[in-house]
Amino acid sequence: MANKRIQGDPAKAIGYLRVSTDRQELGPDAQRKAIERWAAASGVTVAAWFSEVVSGGADIDERAALLDA
């Protein structure tokens, strides 16, 4: 899969949250809060959020939410 660089507005971001289990220490809520803190400190608006439960070792084509993001 070739990398495509899409230019956009640097003041907007897409939030992607991924966990591999429901018991992961830094679950979706902690990840979202960290992204929200970073965005606020950086003057960035999170335009959309995507989340999924999938192994970190999963191939890219097994990560539907990442592909949607």
pLDDT tens string 29-58? 999 999 999 999 999 999 999 999 888 788
Q: Please tell me the distance from the alpha carbon of residue 58 to that of residue 25, in angstroms, as a whole number.
A: 19
Whole-angstrom Cα distance, residue 53 to residue 22? Answer: 8
Q: Which residues contact 19 (CB under 8 A, 6 or more apart)?
A: 26, 27, 28, 31, 53
- Under the banding of pLDDT at 50, 70 and 90, the label for residue 15 is very high
In this prediction, residue 50 carries a pLDDT of: 95
14 close to 69: Cβ distance less than 8 angstroms: yes
Q: Rg of the chain's alpha carbons, rounded to an integer?
A: 13
The pTM of the full predicted model, rounded to 2 decimals, is: 0.77
Nearest in space to 51 (alpha carbons), one of 36, 34, 68: 68
For 5-14, what is each residue's pLDDT tens digit?
777 888 999 9
